[in-house]
């Protein structure tokens, strides 16, 4: 069997993902759990990590590279932020060591955009970004990482020039559960592709009408018999369409767009891009974060025979 | 004392307001309660109304004109919708009688915009609109009625040509209570006018960025020490600014803008209009709905000496 080289961990707010990587880059083991930052903060970060390492029998000398909310102020050890504009490489070298551990454990920093007009922060997605753009650095690239808080990053000739967070996933959640639109989507079944596409098209044509178009989920039901599935897809299409329209409003014509996603979100964003005739390439979200963590491991432990594969 | 002529009722989802109007148009009595449609649907609409009439000793022959959600399908008696485009006068003549009552009780209809692209409904605000525009009917008028679901109506030469609902008030509520931004505004005190104006200006410049600018309440706090009051004002300014920008995106240059509001909402919308150098006139929301109900009473009972004053 391939010898273990290092452990890569994506430690988000509500999820924990760990991979044991071999000297030849293979995945020797994988763990996923709901022990995100929120849970780990009460259980203890060191204990949560050690339990996962123990169950995969990871030797004591194998180092661990971590990205995500474990490096937030309210996380395990604060890993700070790298300020934009910055080279992608600066993320690799900004890792902090977790003190008091017998094992070598590093946490990667986030990114901060400190402008007065558009302050913004990223923590975790900078590592996905690193993985998504590995090897590509010419011209303008726009990277879309959808989720609870979707992140869009602009990279020009290998420099991260700026980024924006869109509250798309969280707004969908609170609107669906807590607003009058909850009635409209009660009992929703299979996704309604036609309603989704109609909403994406509508917000693209009228980008300032987001908070009005959302109400169409209710009025469409009152006046046109829109189904609960249609209402749900309409809300989703309005929010995702608003995000894409806003994010691309300042992008250049030649910008290459990369979608970092998987599963249902990948399908929704690809459908929206196709609706709007926007060219894109897709990279699997898990693969991107693993690739980013690997790049960090190789940069941090360059002379370690375990990580140079 | 002035003789009573009719009773005017604005019966919304969560509020009930009743005025006893005299033959000379004076307000002889006024009641407000939380017995909106939701409460009245379980208590019984007839009983709720009668209790208020009794406590003001309203004689049995005095008629009652009602607008609002009492006329919804889930209300007292369904009063239907008048379809746009429509003259303002059609609202006056579309009232339905409440059957089985010894007293003459009428409920005014709402407005429906049945277009496939922008289905929308109004119930209650059509009566405010009637009051706000009383006597004015030339050219293009845009009427803004802010609230839980803000309504913007376009009237051209006395015809209602279309309208839009914006979920501004409700979105502010669910975002403030249920999203990650709830942490950012916890402990907010006095309104922060500077943060409100900054947000209004930001969304006006980038109208497609609503769901991103909202996140500025959090990132502004992380990076620039934005206070909880500032974060709350930022969210409010983003949503109100988005509404105004969207609503006016299709308005003509010569359109006259009327704000129908009172209290805190009046202040916020006036501040936003001033920020954006938009000319407007303000009409008190209560006065507008009373004036609209009076116009309806005079149209419905034209030969009644009690209502012709």
For the whole model, what pTM was predicted?
Answer: 0.93
The fold for domain B4-165+285-300 equals: Nucleotidyltransferase; domain 5 (3.30.420)
Judged by average pLDDT, the poorest of A146-160, A225-239, B124-138, B280-294 is B124-138
DSSP tag of A85: S
pLDDT band at B304 (very low <50, low <70, confident <90, very high): low
pLDDT in tens, B41-71: 999 999 999 999 999 999 999 999 999 999 9
Chain A residues within 8 A of B180 when measuring between CB atoms: 149, 167, 170
Rounded to whole angstroms, the Cα distance separating A279 from A256 reads: 8
SS percent in chain B: helix, strand, coil, step 5: 40, 25, 35
At A27 the pLDDT is 95
pLDDT tens, A65-117? 999 999 999 899 999 999 999 998 898 888 999 999 999 999 999 999 999 88
Query: Rounded to whole angstroms, what are the CA distances from B234 to A280, B182, B211, B217?
Result: 33, 13, 12, 6
Q: How far is CA A156 from CA A87, A162, A228, A253, B258, in A?
A: 9, 10, 43, 13, 46
- Categorize the per-residue pLDDT at A306 as very low, low, confident or very high, splitting at 50, 70 and 90: low
ipTM: 0.92
| Model confidence band, residue B307 (pLDDT cutoffs 50, 70, 90) | low
What integer best gives the mean pLDDT of chain A? Answer: 94
Q: Tell me which residue of B53, B79, B20, B112 sits closest to B307, measured CA to CA.
A: B20
A206 pLDDT higher than 90: yes
Eight-state DSSP code of residue A71: G
Question: Any idea what DSSP says for residue A185?
Answer: H
- Cis previous bond, A85, omega within 30: yes
pLDDT value, residue A135: 67
A258 cis-preceded (ω within 30 degrees of 0): no
The domains of chain A are located at: 4-125+289-300, 167-278
What class has domain A167-278? alpha beta
Give the bridge partners for A66, in sequence order.
Answer: A9, A107
In this structure, whether the domain defined by A4-125+289-300 belongs to CATH 3.30.420.300 is answered with yes
Inform me whether the pLDDT recorded for A48 exceeds 90: yes
With CB atoms and an 8 Å threshold, state whether A211 touches B178: no
Residues from chain A contacting residue B231 (CB–CB below 8 Å): none
pLDDT at A304: 65
Question: What tens digit of pLDDT does each residue of B233-279 get?
Answer: 999 999 999 999 999 998 888 899 999 999 999 999 999 999 999 99
Burial label for A81, CB within 10 Å (0-12, 13-18, 19+), is: buried
Helices B216-224 and B228-248, packing angle to 10 deg:
140
Q: Is B38 on the interface with A (CB under 8 A)?
A: no
What pLDDT does residue B308 have? 47
pLDDT for the residue numbered A308: 47
Distance CA B159, CA B86 (A): 5
- A:B CB pairs within 8 Å: 139
pLDDT at A116: 87
The token duo for A226 is 């829109």
State the pLDDT at residue B309. 46
φ, ψ (nearest 5 deg) of residue B7: -110, 135
The two three-digit tokens of residue B147, written as one number: 């609230």
Long-range contacts of A92-101 (CB under 8 A, 24+ apart): A92/A130, A92/A295, A92/A296, A92/A299, A92/A300, A93/A299, A93/A300, A95/A65, A95/A296, A95/A300, A96/A71, A98/A46, A101/A46
Tokens of A114: 């400190």
Express each pLDDT in B130-187 by its tens digit: 999 876 678 999 999 999 999 999 999 999 999 999 999 999 999 999 999 999 999 9
Instruction: Output the pLDDT for position B82.
Output: 96
What residue of B is the nearest CA neighbor of A83? B223
Question: The tokens of A281 are what?
Answer: 């390439």
d(CA A155, CA A7): 28
Confidence band, pLDDT 50/70/90 cuts, at residue B227: very high
Evaluate whether A34 touches A47 at the Cβ level (below 8 Å): no
Do residue B167 and residue A223 have CB atoms under 8 angstroms apart? no
- Which run of H or of E encompasses B62? none
Task: Using pLDDT thresholds of 50, 70 and 90, give the confidence band for residue B116.
Answer: confident
Most A-contacting residue of B163, B209, B240, B249 (CB-CB within 10 A), to test interface: B209
Strand, coil or helix: A257: strand
- The DSSP line for B84-101 is SSEETHHHHHT-EEPTT-
How confident is the prediction for chain B on average, in pLDDT? 94
| Chain B stretch 130-189, residues whose beta carbon is closer than 8 A to a beta carbon of chain A | 149, 164-168, 170-171, 174-175, 177-180
The predicted pLDDT at position A250 comes to: 84
- The percentage of chain B sitting over the pLDDT mark of 90, rounded to a whole number, equals 86
């Amino acid at each position: 069997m391939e010898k273990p080289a290092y452990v890569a961990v994506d430690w988000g707010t509500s999820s924990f993902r760990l991979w044991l990587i071999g000297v030849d880059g293979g995945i020797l083991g994988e763990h996923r759990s709901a022990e995100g930052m929120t849970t780990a903060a009460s259980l203890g970060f060191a204990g949560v990590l050690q339990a996962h390492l123990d169950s995969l029998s990871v030797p004591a000398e194998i180092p661990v590279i971590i990205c995500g909310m474990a490096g937030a102020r309210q996380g395990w050890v604060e890993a700070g932020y790298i300020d934009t504009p910055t080279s992608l490489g600066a993320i690799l070298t900004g890792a902090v060591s977790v003190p008091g551990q017998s094992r070598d454990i590093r946490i990667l920093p986030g990114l901060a955009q400190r402008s007065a007009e558009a302050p913004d922060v990223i923590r975790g997605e900078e590592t996905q970004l690193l993985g998504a753009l590995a090897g590509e650095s010419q011209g303008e690239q726009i990277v879309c990482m959808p989720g609870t808080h979707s992140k869009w990053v602009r990279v020009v000739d290998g420099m991260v020039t700026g980024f924006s967070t869109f509250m798309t996933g969280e707004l969908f959640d609170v609107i669906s559960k807590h607003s009058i639109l909850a009635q409209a989507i009660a009992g929703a079944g299979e996704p309604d592709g036609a309603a989704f596409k109609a909403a994406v098209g509508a917000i693209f044509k009228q980008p300032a009408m987001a908070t009005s178009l959302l109400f169409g989920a209710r009025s469409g039901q009152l006046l046109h018999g829109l189904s609960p599935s249609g209402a749900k897809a309409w809300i989703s299409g309005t929010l995702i369409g608003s995000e894409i329209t806003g994010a691309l409003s300042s992008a250049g014509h030649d910008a290459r767009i990369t979608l970092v996603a998987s599963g249902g979100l990948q399908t929704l964003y690809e459908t929206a891009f196709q609706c709007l005739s926007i060219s894109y390439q897709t990279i699997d979200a898990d693969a991107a974060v693993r690739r980013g963590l690997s790049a960090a491991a190789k940069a941090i432990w360059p002379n370690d025979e375990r990580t140079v594969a």
